[in-house]
Structure 1
Amino acid sequence: MEKVRAKKHLGQHFLTDLSIAERIALSVKGHGGVKKVLEIGPGMGVLTDFLLKTDFELYLIDVDKDSIAYLLKKNPELGERIIYGDYLKYDFQKVIKDQYAIVGNFPYNISSQIFFKVLEVRNQVTEVVCMLQKEVAERIASPKGNKAYGILSVLLQAFYDIEYLFSVPPEVFDPPPKVNSGVIRLVRNDVTSLDCNEKLFFQVVKGGFGNRRKTLRNSLKSFQLPEELKSNPLMDKRAEQLDVADFVFVAQQIEASRGNH
């Protein structure tokens, strides 16, 4: 079978190291008792081979026609579970009705968008094990007070417990990326919904980090903060110093003041 050539415009870097592929596959724990796993961007199926040795029912999605053709030849037994499509636009409820885990070597250029999509379907996705740019992996897993901590850290940590598993050097890919990679695991926590208006929470988090050097009092000026919130010591802090509960509190206060007008 002819090898698939990695396409730059799709951000493809194919993993060639079998021990790392196996380690990623074994990092999927099946949180919440899930039996189904979706691999995003399987490429030539190096990780797929190891996932097929697990007890999970495996689904694959790739936006690259060449990869899909290759995988259909290599793993004909998967049949309709090999899906040609863009994960960001695909409605998986048509295919998988129950909960599932996600695994993959995410294309660096769309990894953040994949996570925003995961947040939208968070009650279906109980676990994510993925490889991405090391810097982004560290940011997502970073605790508050850390320079790397950002919007995605807060939004994902609201609904997932996140663990940085291990780092991966560029030379185990074809072609090698210019950066190091990192593997993280997200496990769905018990939070079914936040104790505030979630849309407002997202806006407050984005607003806070939009001017991350400023104090919250200044970075959230456009939200017309109530006086009692303005004088709260929390507002002397910068966004990176707040955890999920702090942002929920700020959103609650803003929401309450709007209700009083």
Structure 2
Amino acid sequence: MSVLLRDAWSTLVPDLRDRHGPLPPLMLALTVVTGLVDAFSYLVLGHVFVANMTGNVVFSGFAIAGATGFSLAASLAALGSFAAGAFLGGRVAHRERAHRGRVLHLALVLETVLVLVAYVIAETAATPYGGLARYWLIALLGLGMGVQNAAARALAVPDLTTTVLTLTITGIASDSRAAGGSGSKAGRRALSAVAMFAGALIGAAAVLHGHEAVPLLFAALLLAAATGAAFTLARSGGTWTDPL
């Protein structure tokens, strides 16, 4: 337990001399954003994810098979928007690859703008969202999450992908001392799962209590705070900024 807690603490309050410097807590914040926006998209936009693309591939199969409640068009829109966002994020990452702080900052600026615009649409459009409003929301959020994922991939902070938890949870179990492993990084991995759970819980609670747009407001505020922190990091000369 002490190893797990130490690992969790070092993720929340990292040693700035570490290879990844101050990046881990910011990656956790983005993981919370993932839970918030996917709670909104799944519960409000109708069985579609804007961050977890595995779900949309599966949902597409369900829709083609004729299962009710699933939209092939919505799933494909999310997949296409996410891919476009990942392309934009990749352009940023490759252009600024000499400084990891600048990669994060520019990606967050893009994502914050996209999520904020989505919030404005969600706040002003009539509910339940249908037609163009629904697809604008899917497109904007998919673009934003694609940018986030491309940046997270470029930064490559171990066990903090910000969206995918399958390998994270696998690592908690398969690398545990009970399984014969060292138990290393269990604290960080657990925090990643808790962060996404927290975002999903808060987002779902807001939606279910009649505040459909609130998860996007929370996501935009969290992204704005992360962008402010990344602005400072973009000017850092620490060794963590060097490309991997």
TM range (shorter): under 0.3
Q: TM-score, normalised by structure 2?
A: 0.27
Q: Tell me: higher relative CO, structure 1 or 2? Use CA pairs within 8 A at least 6 residues apart.
A: 2
Instruction: Considering fraction of residues, name the structure with more helix.
Output: 2
Instruction: Considering fraction of residues, name the structure with more strand.
Output: 1
Q: TM-score, normalised by structure 1?
A: 0.26
